[in-house]
């Protein structure tokens, strides 16, 4: 039997990167997957790629940080597949790279909304179905930036730290309903997003891009970045029966860099 056989999983931020890889992996492991993102073309492409590979997936075009959209995401999941029993809150924007004195209030709220508020809203509407079904699993994709910080990224660090606090509180609250809640805190993950982060950090610190990229890799004992597959594999494990007694944890994926 596959790792996620019988699971009905919502994955937000599924248009590309970790979310797209996660959608493929969850489907390959037997889950029926609801791919959620704001970009119609990209999220429909993700769902189509999953189906072409033999998986079962639908696309929902929605902004998970908007309450009506979050409610609709869960409603469309139930209509298509049945009650959700796995939720991965992966949606989130990086926000600007700016000194705090130049960081606008609007940008700060927007960054909180994209990662933290979206996770709260999707969980809020998914939990009643998990309770009725006798249990489920929730995974919040946080970041090592929540633990060690990152200069010029106050909104992002705050949003990701909030996800860790939310994970701890929800795990205590939902445990009696047989619902596990965990967070994953990736370090540097190879891909387009980290390249944008490296370029922005280099500009903010007046440093060469190559030197900044090297610093991101060299602080890892394994001397490499993680991959989207590394994050997706851990999320799948945490949503499986193999992790039924793991809850309230924030698990780093850092290629060995201390948390």
Active site residue 156: yes
Sign of CA dihedral 145, 222, 192, 90: negative
CA 125 to each of CA 67, 77, 248: distance values in angstroms, whole numbers, following the listed order = 9, 11, 20
CB count in 10 Å sphere of residue 194: 19
Catalytically annotated residue among 103, 109, 125, 156: 156
| Interacting residues of 141 by C-beta distance below 8 A, sequence separation 6+ | 13, 18, 88, 89, 90, 92, 163, 183, 184, 186, 231, 235
| Interacting residues of 32 by C-beta distance below 8 A, sequence separation 6+ | 7, 8, 9, 56, 57, 80, 81
Question: Which residues belong to the active site?
Answer: 156
């Amino acid at each position: 039997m596959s790792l996620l056989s019988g699971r009905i999983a919502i994955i937000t931020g599924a248009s590309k990167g970790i979310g797209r890889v996660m959608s493929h992996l969850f489907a390959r492991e037997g889950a029926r997957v609801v791919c959620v993102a704001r970009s119609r073309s990209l999220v429909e492409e993700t769902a189509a790629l999953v189906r072409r590979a033999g998986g079962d997936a639908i696309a929902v075009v929605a902004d998970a940080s908007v309450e009506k959209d979050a409610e609709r995401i869960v409603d469309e999941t139930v209509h298509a597949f049945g009650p959700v029993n796995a939720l991965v809150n992966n949606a989130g924007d990086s926000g600007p790279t700016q000194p705090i004195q130049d960081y606008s209030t609007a940008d700060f709220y927007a960054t909180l909304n994209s990662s933290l508020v979206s996770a709260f809203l999707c969980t809020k509407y998914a939990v009643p179905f998990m309770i009725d079904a006798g249990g489920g699993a929730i995974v919040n994709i946080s970041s090592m930036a929540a633990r060690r910080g990152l200069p010029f990224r106050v909104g992002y660090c705050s949003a990701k730290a909030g996800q860790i606090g939310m994970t701890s509180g929800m795990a205590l609250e939902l445990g009696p309903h047989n619902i596990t809640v965990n967070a994953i805190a990736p370090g540097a993950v190879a891909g387009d997003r980290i390249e944008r982060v490296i370029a922005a950090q280099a500009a903010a610190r007046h440093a060469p891009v190559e030197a900044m990229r090297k610093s991101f890799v060299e602080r890892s004992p394994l001397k490499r970045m993680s991959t989207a597959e590394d994050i997706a594999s851990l999320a799948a494990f945490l949503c499986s029966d193999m992790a039924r007694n793991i809850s309230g944890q924030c698990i780093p994926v850092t290629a060995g860099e201390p948390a």
